[in-house]
A and B are shown apart, each in its own frame.
Chain A
Amino acid sequence: MGEILIALIKVVFIWVWVLLCAVVMTWVERRGAAMIQDRPGPNRAGPFGLLQPLADGIKLFTKEDIVPAKAKKILFMLGPLLFSFPAFSTFAVVPFGDKFVIDGKEILLQVSNVNIGFLYIVALGSMAVYGIILGGWASNNKYSILGGLRSTAQLVSYEVPWGLALLAIALVYGTFSLRDIALAQSGTFLGVLPNWGVFKQPLGFILFMVAAYAEANRVPFDLPEAESEIVSGYHTEYGSMRLGLYLFGEYVNIVTLSSLITTFYFGAWHLPYIDMSAFLGPISYGIASFIVFFLKVAFFLWLFVWVRWTVPRFRYDQVMTLGWRELIPLGLFNIFVTALVIQLTA
Protein backbone atom coordinates (compact mmCIF):
# COMPACT_ATOMS: atom_id res chain seq x y z
CA MET A 1 0.00 0.00 0.00
CA GLY A 2 2.71 2.42 1.07
CA GLU A 3 4.70 1.63 -2.06
CA ILE A 4 1.75 2.41 -4.29
CA LEU A 5 1.02 5.61 -2.44
CA ILE A 6 4.60 6.77 -2.76
CA ALA A 7 4.62 5.89 -6.45
CA LEU A 8 1.39 7.80 -6.94
CA ILE A 9 2.75 10.86 -5.16
CA LYS A 10 5.85 10.74 -7.31
CA VAL A 11 3.82 10.43 -10.49
CA VAL A 12 1.54 13.32 -9.63
CA PHE A 13 4.40 15.46 -8.42
CA ILE A 14 6.55 15.04 -11.48
CA TRP A 15 3.57 15.42 -13.77
CA VAL A 16 2.60 18.70 -12.20
CA TRP A 17 6.21 19.80 -12.10
CA VAL A 18 6.79 19.09 -15.78
CA LEU A 19 3.55 20.87 -16.65
CA LEU A 20 4.68 23.83 -14.62
CA CYS A 21 8.05 23.84 -16.34
CA ALA A 22 6.37 23.76 -19.73
CA VAL A 23 4.06 26.60 -18.77
CA VAL A 24 6.93 28.71 -17.56
CA MET A 25 8.81 27.79 -20.71
CA THR A 26 6.15 29.35 -22.89
CA TRP A 27 6.69 32.54 -20.96
CA VAL A 28 10.49 32.26 -21.06
CA GLU A 29 10.35 31.66 -24.79
CA ARG A 30 8.35 34.75 -25.48
CA ARG A 31 10.13 37.03 -23.08
CA GLY A 32 13.54 35.62 -23.93
CA ALA A 33 12.94 36.07 -27.62
CA ALA A 34 11.79 39.61 -26.95
CA MET A 35 14.88 40.43 -24.94
CA ILE A 36 17.13 39.04 -27.65
CA GLN A 37 15.29 41.10 -30.22
CA ASP A 38 15.35 44.43 -28.37
CA ARG A 39 11.72 44.49 -27.37
CA PRO A 40 9.93 43.89 -24.05
CA GLY A 41 7.65 41.01 -24.95
CA PRO A 42 4.43 40.19 -23.11
CA ASN A 43 4.60 42.23 -19.95
CA ARG A 44 1.02 43.18 -19.19
CA ALA A 45 -0.51 40.07 -17.60
CA GLY A 46 0.68 39.95 -14.02
CA PRO A 47 4.15 40.89 -12.77
CA PHE A 48 6.66 40.67 -15.64
CA GLY A 49 3.87 39.15 -17.72
CA LEU A 50 4.14 35.93 -15.76
CA LEU A 51 0.43 35.27 -16.07
CA GLN A 52 0.64 35.34 -19.84
CA PRO A 53 0.58 31.54 -20.20
CA LEU A 54 -2.59 31.50 -18.13
CA ALA A 55 -4.16 34.10 -20.36
CA ASP A 56 -3.09 32.12 -23.40
CA GLY A 57 -4.61 29.00 -21.90
CA ILE A 58 -7.91 30.73 -21.21
CA LYS A 59 -7.96 32.08 -24.71
CA LEU A 60 -7.29 28.69 -26.26
CA PHE A 61 -9.85 26.94 -24.06
CA THR A 62 -12.62 29.36 -24.86
CA LYS A 63 -12.11 29.41 -28.58
CA GLU A 64 -14.36 27.56 -30.93
CA ASP A 65 -13.25 24.04 -31.62
CA ILE A 66 -13.30 23.58 -35.37
CA VAL A 67 -12.94 20.35 -37.26
CA PRO A 68 -12.51 21.17 -40.93
CA ALA A 69 -14.87 19.74 -43.51
CA LYS A 70 -13.64 16.44 -44.93
CA ALA A 71 -11.21 15.98 -42.05
CA LYS A 72 -10.96 12.53 -40.55
CA LYS A 73 -12.61 13.44 -37.32
CA ILE A 74 -11.38 10.75 -34.96
CA LEU A 75 -7.82 10.89 -36.19
CA PHE A 76 -7.98 14.65 -36.15
CA MET A 77 -8.86 14.55 -32.48
CA LEU A 78 -6.35 11.82 -31.73
CA GLY A 79 -3.40 13.70 -33.20
CA PRO A 80 -2.70 16.22 -30.44
CA LEU A 81 -3.23 13.60 -27.75
CA LEU A 82 -0.79 11.22 -29.35
CA PHE A 83 1.69 14.04 -29.66
CA SER A 84 1.68 15.19 -26.07
CA PHE A 85 1.29 11.81 -24.40
CA PRO A 86 4.76 10.36 -25.14
CA ALA A 87 6.39 13.58 -24.07
CA PHE A 88 4.91 13.21 -20.60
CA SER A 89 5.45 9.48 -20.40
CA THR A 90 9.16 9.66 -21.08
CA PHE A 91 9.58 11.28 -17.71
CA ALA A 92 8.66 8.01 -16.01
CA VAL A 93 12.22 6.76 -16.24
CA VAL A 94 14.12 10.01 -15.80
CA PRO A 95 15.76 10.34 -12.39
CA PHE A 96 15.02 13.89 -11.33
CA GLY A 97 17.07 13.71 -8.16
CA ASP A 98 18.92 11.22 -6.04
CA LYS A 99 16.86 9.94 -3.11
CA PHE A 100 15.23 10.70 0.21
CA VAL A 101 15.94 8.53 3.20
CA ILE A 102 13.00 8.45 5.60
CA ASP A 103 13.08 6.07 8.55
CA GLY A 104 15.85 4.15 6.90
CA LYS A 105 13.70 3.64 3.85
CA GLU A 106 15.05 4.90 0.55
CA ILE A 107 12.72 6.78 -1.74
CA LEU A 108 14.24 7.21 -5.17
CA LEU A 109 13.44 10.43 -6.97
CA GLN A 110 12.43 8.58 -10.09
CA VAL A 111 9.03 7.23 -10.96
CA SER A 112 10.31 3.88 -12.00
CA ASN A 113 13.86 2.63 -12.14
CA VAL A 114 13.59 0.22 -15.02
CA ASN A 115 16.76 -1.43 -16.21
CA ILE A 116 15.95 -0.90 -19.84
CA GLY A 117 15.28 2.83 -19.57
CA PHE A 118 17.03 3.39 -22.88
CA LEU A 119 14.66 1.27 -24.88
CA TYR A 120 11.71 2.92 -23.23
CA ILE A 121 12.97 6.37 -24.16
CA VAL A 122 13.74 5.49 -27.75
CA ALA A 123 10.42 3.72 -28.16
CA LEU A 124 8.38 6.61 -26.77
CA GLY A 125 10.42 9.14 -28.68
CA SER A 126 9.33 7.51 -31.92
CA MET A 127 5.72 7.55 -30.80
CA ALA A 128 5.43 11.33 -31.02
CA VAL A 129 5.71 11.16 -34.78
CA TYR A 130 2.32 9.49 -34.92
CA GLY A 131 0.70 12.52 -33.41
CA ILE A 132 2.23 14.71 -36.08
CA ILE A 133 1.59 12.51 -39.07
CA LEU A 134 -1.98 11.81 -37.97
CA GLY A 135 -2.65 15.48 -37.38
CA GLY A 136 -1.14 16.35 -40.73
CA TRP A 137 -2.98 13.68 -42.62
CA ALA A 138 -6.36 14.00 -40.96
CA SER A 139 -6.54 17.74 -41.54
CA ASN A 140 -7.13 17.35 -45.26
CA ASN A 141 -4.81 20.19 -46.07
CA LYS A 142 -1.82 20.07 -48.33
CA TYR A 143 0.32 22.19 -46.10
CA SER A 144 -0.51 19.92 -43.18
CA ILE A 145 0.43 16.86 -45.19
CA LEU A 146 3.71 18.44 -46.18
CA GLY A 147 4.39 19.30 -42.56
CA GLY A 148 3.53 15.80 -41.46
CA LEU A 149 5.75 14.26 -44.10
CA ARG A 150 8.66 16.51 -43.29
CA SER A 151 8.29 15.71 -39.65
CA THR A 152 8.08 11.98 -40.17
CA ALA A 153 11.16 11.87 -42.34
CA GLN A 154 13.02 14.07 -39.94
CA LEU A 155 12.07 12.21 -36.78
CA VAL A 156 12.77 8.83 -38.27
CA SER A 157 16.15 9.98 -39.57
CA TYR A 158 17.21 11.57 -36.35
CA GLU A 159 16.26 8.57 -34.27
CA VAL A 160 19.35 6.93 -35.71
CA PRO A 161 22.07 9.36 -34.60
CA TRP A 162 20.16 9.72 -31.37
CA GLY A 163 20.26 5.99 -30.83
CA LEU A 164 23.91 5.82 -31.83
CA ALA A 165 24.82 8.50 -29.31
CA LEU A 166 22.88 6.60 -26.67
CA LEU A 167 24.64 3.36 -27.59
CA ALA A 168 28.00 4.96 -27.00
CA ILE A 169 26.74 6.07 -23.59
CA ALA A 170 25.64 2.54 -22.84
CA LEU A 171 29.10 1.31 -23.84
CA VAL A 172 30.77 3.75 -21.50
CA TYR A 173 28.60 3.05 -18.49
CA GLY A 174 27.74 -0.55 -19.19
CA THR A 175 24.10 -0.15 -18.25
CA PHE A 176 20.71 0.72 -19.73
CA SER A 177 19.33 2.12 -16.51
CA LEU A 178 19.17 5.90 -16.32
CA ARG A 179 19.68 5.97 -12.58
CA ASP A 180 22.80 3.85 -12.78
CA ILE A 181 24.19 6.17 -15.43
CA ALA A 182 23.43 9.15 -13.24
CA LEU A 183 25.10 7.52 -10.25
CA ALA A 184 28.16 6.67 -12.28
CA GLN A 185 28.81 10.34 -12.99
CA SER A 186 29.93 11.35 -9.51
CA GLY A 187 33.54 12.05 -8.69
CA THR A 188 36.20 13.11 -11.16
CA PHE A 189 37.56 11.88 -14.41
CA LEU A 190 41.27 11.85 -15.24
CA GLY A 191 41.81 13.62 -11.95
CA VAL A 192 40.67 17.10 -13.08
CA LEU A 193 37.39 16.98 -14.96
CA PRO A 194 34.06 16.15 -13.36
CA ASN A 195 33.10 12.59 -14.17
CA TRP A 196 30.39 13.70 -16.59
CA GLY A 197 29.27 12.15 -19.80
CA VAL A 198 30.10 15.22 -21.82
CA PHE A 199 33.81 14.80 -21.06
CA LYS A 200 33.79 11.14 -21.89
CA GLN A 201 31.61 11.52 -24.95
CA PRO A 202 32.14 15.01 -26.39
CA LEU A 203 31.25 13.96 -29.91
CA GLY A 204 28.33 11.91 -28.67
CA PHE A 205 27.09 14.95 -26.79
CA ILE A 206 27.06 17.10 -29.91
CA LEU A 207 25.29 14.37 -31.85
CA PHE A 208 22.74 13.96 -29.12
CA MET A 209 22.14 17.69 -28.88
CA VAL A 210 21.61 18.08 -32.60
CA ALA A 211 19.33 15.08 -32.69
CA ALA A 212 17.43 16.40 -29.68
CA TYR A 213 16.81 19.70 -31.48
CA ALA A 214 15.56 17.78 -34.45
CA GLU A 215 13.36 15.58 -32.30
CA ALA A 216 11.84 18.61 -30.65
CA ASN A 217 11.13 20.26 -34.04
CA ARG A 218 12.93 23.37 -32.94
CA VAL A 219 14.80 25.89 -35.02
CA PRO A 220 16.99 25.14 -36.95
CA PHE A 221 14.98 21.97 -37.47
CA ASP A 222 11.51 23.44 -37.27
CA LEU A 223 10.59 22.68 -40.83
CA PRO A 224 7.50 20.63 -39.99
CA GLU A 225 5.90 23.87 -38.89
CA ALA A 226 7.97 26.28 -40.96
CA GLU A 227 5.72 29.25 -40.76
CA SER A 228 6.90 31.05 -43.83
CA GLU A 229 6.86 28.03 -46.08
CA ILE A 230 3.96 25.80 -45.22
CA VAL A 231 1.89 28.14 -43.08
CA SER A 232 1.98 26.15 -39.83
CA GLY A 233 2.69 22.67 -41.10
CA TYR A 234 0.84 19.88 -39.43
CA HIS A 235 -1.20 22.10 -37.15
CA THR A 236 -2.39 24.54 -39.78
CA GLU A 237 -5.99 23.42 -39.40
CA TYR A 238 -5.99 23.11 -35.64
CA GLY A 239 -7.51 25.62 -33.33
CA SER A 240 -8.53 26.08 -29.72
CA MET A 241 -7.10 23.66 -27.17
CA ARG A 242 -6.13 21.09 -29.77
CA LEU A 243 -3.63 23.56 -31.09
CA GLY A 244 -2.78 24.31 -27.49
CA LEU A 245 -1.93 20.65 -26.92
CA TYR A 246 0.43 20.67 -29.88
CA LEU A 247 2.15 23.83 -28.76
CA PHE A 248 2.26 22.69 -25.20
CA GLY A 249 3.45 19.22 -26.14
CA GLU A 250 6.42 20.85 -27.82
CA TYR A 251 7.46 22.47 -24.56
CA VAL A 252 6.95 19.29 -22.57
CA ASN A 253 9.14 17.63 -25.18
CA ILE A 254 11.80 20.23 -24.63
CA VAL A 255 11.71 19.74 -20.87
CA THR A 256 12.03 15.99 -21.33
CA LEU A 257 14.89 16.28 -23.79
CA SER A 258 16.73 18.72 -21.57
CA SER A 259 16.37 16.31 -18.67
CA LEU A 260 17.78 13.52 -20.79
CA ILE A 261 20.74 15.66 -21.85
CA THR A 262 21.38 16.49 -18.21
CA THR A 263 21.09 12.87 -17.16
CA PHE A 264 23.33 11.45 -19.83
CA TYR A 265 25.93 14.14 -20.29
CA PHE A 266 25.88 16.61 -17.45
CA GLY A 267 26.13 14.51 -14.35
CA ALA A 268 22.43 14.48 -13.50
CA TRP A 269 22.20 15.86 -9.95
CA HIS A 270 25.94 15.83 -9.21
CA LEU A 271 27.76 19.05 -8.59
CA PRO A 272 31.31 19.09 -9.93
CA TYR A 273 33.97 18.40 -7.28
CA ILE A 274 31.46 18.62 -4.44
CA ASP A 275 29.78 15.64 -2.87
CA MET A 276 26.55 17.00 -1.51
CA SER A 277 25.60 13.87 0.39
CA ALA A 278 28.64 14.26 2.62
CA PHE A 279 27.38 17.33 4.43
CA LEU A 280 23.63 17.41 3.87
CA GLY A 281 20.99 15.57 5.83
CA PRO A 282 19.01 12.81 4.12
CA ILE A 283 16.02 14.99 3.31
CA SER A 284 17.84 18.18 2.45
CA TYR A 285 20.12 16.15 0.22
CA GLY A 286 17.12 14.86 -1.70
CA ILE A 287 15.82 18.39 -2.18
CA ALA A 288 19.26 19.71 -3.09
CA SER A 289 19.77 17.02 -5.70
CA PHE A 290 16.39 17.83 -7.20
CA ILE A 291 17.26 21.53 -7.37
CA VAL A 292 20.67 20.92 -8.89
CA PHE A 293 19.14 18.67 -11.49
CA PHE A 294 16.57 21.21 -12.54
CA LEU A 295 19.04 24.06 -12.58
CA LYS A 296 21.00 22.14 -15.16
CA VAL A 297 17.79 21.38 -17.02
CA ALA A 298 16.92 25.06 -16.93
CA PHE A 299 20.18 25.89 -18.67
CA PHE A 300 19.39 23.53 -21.52
CA LEU A 301 15.86 24.84 -21.72
CA TRP A 302 17.26 28.30 -22.12
CA LEU A 303 19.68 27.01 -24.74
CA PHE A 304 16.73 25.77 -26.76
CA VAL A 305 15.24 29.26 -26.70
CA TRP A 306 18.54 30.98 -27.28
CA VAL A 307 19.48 28.92 -30.32
CA ARG A 308 16.02 29.28 -31.78
CA TRP A 309 16.31 33.03 -32.00
CA THR A 310 19.80 33.01 -33.40
CA VAL A 311 19.93 30.74 -36.43
CA PRO A 312 17.98 30.33 -39.65
CA ARG A 313 16.12 27.21 -40.66
CA PHE A 314 17.39 24.25 -42.64
CA ARG A 315 15.83 23.08 -45.83
CA TYR A 316 14.17 19.70 -45.91
CA ASP A 317 16.81 17.95 -48.00
CA GLN A 318 19.61 19.57 -46.05
CA VAL A 319 18.22 18.15 -42.84
CA MET A 320 18.22 14.72 -44.42
CA THR A 321 21.76 15.21 -45.70
CA LEU A 322 22.96 16.36 -42.33
CA GLY A 323 21.31 13.40 -40.64
CA TRP A 324 22.27 10.59 -42.96
CA ARG A 325 25.54 11.76 -44.43
CA GLU A 326 27.10 13.52 -41.52
CA LEU A 327 25.60 12.64 -38.18
CA ILE A 328 25.17 8.90 -38.69
CA PRO A 329 28.75 8.29 -39.91
CA LEU A 330 29.94 10.44 -37.03
CA GLY A 331 27.81 8.39 -34.66
CA LEU A 332 29.26 5.14 -35.97
CA PHE A 333 32.74 6.58 -35.72
CA ASN A 334 32.00 7.63 -32.18
CA ILE A 335 30.89 4.12 -31.23
CA PHE A 336 33.97 2.65 -32.86
CA VAL A 337 36.32 4.96 -31.00
CA THR A 338 34.47 4.43 -27.74
CA ALA A 339 34.60 0.67 -28.09
CA LEU A 340 38.27 0.83 -29.00
CA VAL A 341 39.15 2.94 -26.01
CA ILE A 342 37.15 0.73 -23.68
CA GLN A 343 38.79 -2.37 -25.12
CA LEU A 344 42.28 -0.92 -24.79
CA THR A 345 41.82 0.39 -21.27
CA ALA A 346 39.97 -2.62 -19.89
Chain B
Amino acid sequence: MAKPEVQKNYSLKDSIYLVELLKGLVLTWKHFIFNIGASFRKGPHTIPTTWQYPEDRRPISPIFRGEHMMMLDETGRELCVGCGMCAKVCPAKCITVDNSKVPEGQEDRYAGKTYSKNFNIDLLRCIFCGFCEEACPKGAIVLGQGYELAAYTHEGCQLGKDRLLENYKKAKASGTLKPALKPVPVAGAAQKAEATSAVPEGASKAKPEVTKKVLKKAEKKAGEGE
Protein backbone atom coordinates (compact mmCIF):
# COMPACT_ATOMS: atom_id res chain seq x y z
CA MET B 1 0.00 0.00 0.00
CA ALA B 2 2.21 2.75 -1.24
CA LYS B 3 1.00 6.16 -0.39
CA PRO B 4 0.96 8.59 -3.28
CA GLU B 5 3.69 11.16 -3.08
CA VAL B 6 2.39 14.68 -3.23
CA GLN B 7 4.58 17.50 -4.39
CA LYS B 8 4.02 20.87 -2.85
CA ASN B 9 4.66 23.75 -5.18
CA TYR B 10 4.37 27.08 -3.54
CA SER B 11 4.65 30.37 -5.26
CA LEU B 12 6.76 32.92 -3.43
CA LYS B 13 3.64 34.73 -2.31
CA ASP B 14 2.25 31.62 -0.68
CA SER B 15 5.54 30.45 0.74
CA ILE B 16 6.32 33.45 2.90
CA TYR B 17 3.21 33.08 5.06
CA LEU B 18 2.73 36.79 5.59
CA VAL B 19 0.65 37.78 2.56
CA GLU B 20 -2.13 35.33 3.29
CA LEU B 21 -1.87 36.06 7.00
CA LEU B 22 -2.46 39.74 6.32
CA LYS B 23 -5.42 38.94 4.06
CA GLY B 24 -6.91 36.84 6.81
CA LEU B 25 -6.32 39.56 9.35
CA VAL B 26 -8.12 42.07 7.16
CA LEU B 27 -11.09 39.73 6.88
CA THR B 28 -11.38 39.08 10.59
CA TRP B 29 -10.91 42.78 11.24
CA LYS B 30 -13.92 43.55 9.05
CA HIS B 31 -16.04 41.16 11.08
CA PHE B 32 -14.67 42.62 14.28
CA ILE B 33 -15.51 46.18 13.34
CA PHE B 34 -18.97 45.24 12.14
CA ASN B 35 -19.77 43.41 15.36
CA ILE B 36 -18.32 46.11 17.57
CA GLY B 37 -20.63 48.53 15.83
CA ALA B 38 -23.53 46.14 16.21
CA SER B 39 -22.93 45.55 19.90
CA PHE B 40 -23.49 49.22 20.66
CA ARG B 41 -26.99 49.09 19.26
CA LYS B 42 -29.90 49.22 21.64
CA GLY B 43 -31.74 46.13 22.73
CA PRO B 44 -30.77 42.57 23.49
CA HIS B 45 -30.60 41.28 19.92
CA THR B 46 -27.65 43.34 18.77
CA ILE B 47 -25.30 40.95 17.04
CA PRO B 48 -27.47 39.65 14.23
CA THR B 49 -26.70 35.98 14.55
CA THR B 50 -26.99 35.49 18.28
CA TRP B 51 -30.16 35.44 20.30
CA GLN B 52 -29.75 36.51 23.88
CA TYR B 53 -31.80 33.71 25.37
CA PRO B 54 -33.88 33.83 27.57
CA GLU B 55 -34.91 37.48 27.25
CA ASP B 56 -34.51 37.46 23.48
CA ARG B 57 -35.94 34.49 21.64
CA ARG B 58 -35.83 33.48 18.05
CA PRO B 59 -39.11 33.16 16.22
CA ILE B 60 -40.37 29.62 16.19
CA SER B 61 -41.90 28.11 13.12
CA PRO B 62 -45.71 28.00 13.40
CA ILE B 63 -45.61 24.29 12.64
CA PHE B 64 -42.82 23.55 15.10
CA ARG B 65 -42.86 20.07 16.57
CA GLY B 66 -42.48 20.73 20.27
CA GLU B 67 -44.35 19.96 23.45
CA HIS B 68 -47.70 18.31 22.78
CA MET B 69 -51.13 19.68 23.53
CA MET B 70 -54.64 18.33 23.51
CA MET B 71 -57.09 20.26 21.43
CA LEU B 72 -60.58 21.38 22.36
CA ASP B 73 -63.24 22.28 19.88
CA GLU B 74 -64.95 25.69 19.58
CA THR B 75 -67.34 24.96 22.42
CA GLY B 76 -64.57 23.81 24.72
CA ARG B 77 -65.17 20.08 24.41
CA GLU B 78 -62.31 17.60 24.27
CA LEU B 79 -61.81 16.28 20.77
CA CYS B 80 -59.98 13.15 21.80
CA VAL B 81 -62.04 9.99 21.57
CA GLY B 82 -59.32 7.78 22.96
CA CYS B 83 -59.07 5.61 19.86
CA GLY B 84 -55.40 4.94 20.46
CA MET B 85 -54.28 5.56 16.87
CA CYS B 86 -51.53 7.83 18.16
CA ALA B 87 -50.25 5.17 20.51
CA LYS B 88 -50.25 2.67 17.70
CA VAL B 89 -48.37 4.80 15.22
CA CYS B 90 -45.79 6.11 17.68
CA PRO B 91 -42.35 4.75 16.77
CA ALA B 92 -41.05 5.37 20.27
CA LYS B 93 -44.07 3.87 22.02
CA CYS B 94 -44.37 6.81 24.34
CA ILE B 95 -48.14 7.28 24.38
CA THR B 96 -50.53 5.35 26.59
CA VAL B 97 -54.27 5.83 26.20
CA ASP B 98 -57.14 4.41 28.22
CA ASN B 99 -60.53 5.10 26.77
CA SER B 100 -63.93 4.92 28.23
CA LYS B 101 -67.51 5.77 27.38
CA VAL B 102 -68.49 9.29 28.16
CA PRO B 103 -70.38 9.18 31.47
CA GLU B 104 -73.96 10.36 31.61
CA GLY B 105 -74.36 14.07 31.97
CA GLN B 106 -70.87 14.93 30.82
CA GLU B 107 -71.59 15.14 27.11
CA ASP B 108 -70.82 18.85 27.15
CA ARG B 109 -67.21 18.08 28.11
CA TYR B 110 -66.41 15.60 25.36
CA ALA B 111 -66.99 15.93 21.65
CA GLY B 112 -67.14 12.21 20.93
CA LYS B 113 -69.07 9.33 22.40
CA THR B 114 -65.93 8.01 24.02
CA TYR B 115 -63.12 9.88 25.63
CA SER B 116 -59.63 9.20 26.86
CA LYS B 117 -59.79 8.48 30.55
CA ASN B 118 -56.05 8.50 30.87
CA PHE B 119 -53.72 9.94 28.36
CA ASN B 120 -50.01 10.04 28.99
CA ILE B 121 -47.05 11.02 26.87
CA ASP B 122 -43.63 10.04 28.16
CA LEU B 123 -41.43 12.92 27.07
CA LEU B 124 -38.35 10.91 27.95
CA ARG B 125 -39.20 8.54 25.12
CA CYS B 126 -40.81 10.93 22.67
CA ILE B 127 -38.77 11.76 19.58
CA PHE B 128 -41.06 14.53 18.34
CA CYS B 129 -41.61 12.99 14.94
CA GLY B 130 -45.16 14.26 14.71
CA PHE B 131 -46.67 10.95 13.63
CA CYS B 132 -49.30 11.05 16.38
CA GLU B 133 -50.50 14.37 15.05
CA GLU B 134 -50.82 12.95 11.56
CA ALA B 135 -52.50 9.78 12.68
CA CYS B 136 -55.14 11.38 14.87
CA PRO B 137 -58.50 11.21 13.08
CA LYS B 138 -59.88 14.02 15.19
CA GLY B 139 -56.94 16.43 15.17
CA ALA B 140 -56.97 16.14 18.93
CA ILE B 141 -53.28 15.87 19.56
CA VAL B 142 -50.97 18.52 18.21
CA LEU B 143 -47.32 19.27 18.70
CA GLY B 144 -46.94 22.86 19.86
CA GLN B 145 -44.16 25.36 20.17
CA GLY B 146 -42.97 24.57 23.68
CA TYR B 147 -39.36 23.52 23.75
CA GLU B 148 -38.27 24.13 27.32
CA LEU B 149 -38.77 20.62 28.56
CA ALA B 150 -36.21 20.30 31.32
CA ALA B 151 -37.50 18.83 34.56
CA TYR B 152 -36.04 17.62 37.82
CA THR B 153 -38.08 14.50 38.22
CA HIS B 154 -39.35 11.60 36.20
CA GLU B 155 -42.89 12.80 36.87
CA GLY B 156 -41.95 16.17 35.42
CA CYS B 157 -41.35 14.47 32.09
CA GLN B 158 -44.77 12.87 31.91
CA LEU B 159 -47.36 14.78 29.96
CA GLY B 160 -50.66 13.87 31.54
CA LYS B 161 -54.02 15.10 30.41
CA ASP B 162 -53.93 18.09 32.71
CA ARG B 163 -50.65 19.32 31.29
CA LEU B 164 -51.76 18.67 27.73
CA LEU B 165 -54.89 20.73 28.23
CA GLU B 166 -52.93 23.43 29.98
CA ASN B 167 -50.57 23.61 27.00
CA TYR B 168 -53.57 24.12 24.77
CA LYS B 169 -54.89 26.94 26.90
CA LYS B 170 -51.48 28.60 26.96
CA ALA B 171 -51.08 28.30 23.22
CA LYS B 172 -54.56 29.66 22.63
CA ALA B 173 -53.94 32.59 24.93
CA SER B 174 -50.69 33.46 23.16
CA GLY B 175 -52.19 32.86 19.72
CA THR B 176 -49.65 30.24 18.73
CA LEU B 177 -52.07 27.46 17.90
CA LYS B 178 -50.88 25.45 14.94
CA PRO B 179 -52.75 26.08 11.70
CA ALA B 180 -54.66 23.01 10.62
CA LEU B 181 -52.62 20.65 8.46
CA LYS B 182 -53.55 20.92 4.84
CA PRO B 183 -53.83 17.61 3.04
CA VAL B 184 -51.44 17.53 0.12
CA PRO B 185 -52.70 16.67 -3.35
CA VAL B 186 -52.47 12.98 -4.10
CA ALA B 187 -51.54 11.43 -7.40
CA GLY B 188 -54.41 9.95 -9.42
CA ALA B 189 -57.34 12.37 -9.27
CA ALA B 190 -59.99 9.64 -9.49
CA GLN B 191 -59.01 7.98 -6.26
CA LYS B 192 -58.34 11.32 -4.66
CA ALA B 193 -61.08 11.30 -2.11
CA GLU B 194 -60.26 7.81 -0.97
CA ALA B 195 -56.55 8.35 -0.77
CA THR B 196 -56.68 11.54 1.22
CA SER B 197 -57.86 9.57 4.17
CA ALA B 198 -54.35 8.16 4.42
CA VAL B 199 -53.00 11.57 5.16
CA PRO B 200 -54.14 13.55 8.14
CA GLU B 201 -56.96 15.98 8.00
CA GLY B 202 -58.21 18.75 10.15
CA ALA B 203 -60.62 18.18 12.96
CA SER B 204 -63.63 18.78 10.73
CA LYS B 205 -64.32 15.32 9.33
CA ALA B 206 -65.11 12.58 11.76
CA LYS B 207 -64.82 9.04 10.58
CA PRO B 208 -67.79 7.07 11.75
CA GLU B 209 -66.34 3.60 11.50
CA VAL B 210 -63.43 4.45 13.78
CA THR B 211 -65.72 5.90 16.36
CA LYS B 212 -67.98 2.90 16.21
CA LYS B 213 -65.15 0.47 16.69
CA VAL B 214 -63.76 2.38 19.60
CA LEU B 215 -67.17 2.65 21.14
CA LYS B 216 -67.56 -1.08 20.96
CA LYS B 217 -64.20 -1.63 22.52
CA ALA B 218 -64.93 0.79 25.31
CA GLU B 219 -68.21 -0.91 26.04
CA LYS B 220 -66.48 -4.25 26.14
CA LYS B 221 -63.92 -2.92 28.54
CA ALA B 222 -66.51 -1.39 30.76
CA GLY B 223 -68.32 -4.71 30.81
CA GLU B 224 -65.20 -6.58 31.80
CA GLY B 225 -64.54 -4.07 34.53
CA GLU B 226 -67.90 -4.73 36.08
Contacts and interface: CB of A to CB of B under 8 A. Distances in A.
Direct interface between A and B, CB < 8 A: yes
Interface of A: 32, 34-40, 206, 306-307, 309-311
Interface in B99-121: none
Given A32-B32, A35-B35, A38-B31, 10 more contacts: A38-B35, A38-B48, A38-B50, A40-B47, A306-B28, A307-B21, A307-B25, A310-B25, A311-B21, A311-B24
A214 to B, nearest CB: 13
B31 A37 contact: yes
19 contacts: A34-B35, A35-B35, A36-B28, A36-B31, A38-B50, A39-B47, A39-B50, A40-B39, A40-B46, A40-B47, A206-B18, A306-B25, A306-B28, A306-B29, A306-B32, A307-B21, A309-B28, A310-B28, A311-B24
Given A38-B47, A40-B46, A40-B52, A310 B21 contact: yes
Contacts of B52: 40
Contacts of B32: 32, 35-36, 306
Interface of B is mostly: helix
Nearest to A39: B50
Contacts of B18: 206
Contacts of B47: 38-40
Contacts of A37: 31
List of 3 A-B pairs having minimum Cβ-Cβ separation, nearest first: A35-B35, A310-B24, A36-B28
Given A40-B50, A40-B52, A35 B31 contact: yes
Nearest to B23: A310
B198 interface: no
B8 to A, nearest CB: 12
B24 to A, nearest CB: 4
B49 interface: yes
B36 interface: yes
Nearest to A206: B18
Interface in B27-56: 27-29, 31-32, 35-36, 39, 46-50, 52
Nearest to B39: A40
Interface of B: 18, 21, 24-25, 27-29, 31-32, 35-36, 39, 46-50, 52
Contacts of B49: 38-39
- Counting chain A CB atoms within 10 Å of each CB, the highest count among B47, B48, B49 belongs to B47
A82 to B, nearest CB: 32
A151 B102 CA distance: 76
A39 B27 CA distance: 16
For A32, A306, A310, the residue with the greatest tally of chain B CB atoms inside 10 Å of its CB is A310
Contacts of A34: 35
Contacts of A206: 18
A211 B175 CA distance: 62
* A34, A36, A39, A306 — most chain B CB neighbours (10 Å): A36
Nearest to B25: A310
Contacts of A311: 21, 24
A60 B139 CA distance: 53
Contacts of A38: 31, 35, 47-50
Contacts of A32: 32
A160 B39 CA distance: 43
Nearest to A34: B35
Looking at A34, A35, A37, A311, the one whose CB has the most chain B CB atoms below 10 A away is: A35
A306 B46 CA distance: 22
A14 to B, nearest CB: 30
B50 to A, nearest CB: 5
A198 to B, nearest CB: 15
A219 to B, nearest CB: 12
Nearest to A210: B17
A311 B25 CA distance: 9
A63 to B, nearest CB: 24
Contacts of B29: 306
B57 to A, nearest CB: 15
Contacts of B24: 310-311
A39 B32 CA distance: 10
Q: Which of B28, B50, B52 has the most CB of A within 10 A?
A: B28
Nearest to B48: A38
Contacts of A39: 47, 49-50
Of the candidates B25, B29, B35, the one having the most CB atoms from chain A within 10 angstroms of its own CB is B35
B166 to A, nearest CB: 31
A35 B25 contact: no
A261 to B, nearest CB: 16
A310 B21 CA distance: 8
Contacts of A36: 28, 31-32, 35
Contact of A35 (B21, B27, B36, B48): B36
Nearest to A35: B35
Contact of B39 (A35, A306, A307, A309): A35
A306 B21 CA distance: 11
Contacts of A307: 21, 25
A312 to B, nearest CB: 10
A325 to B, nearest CB: 13
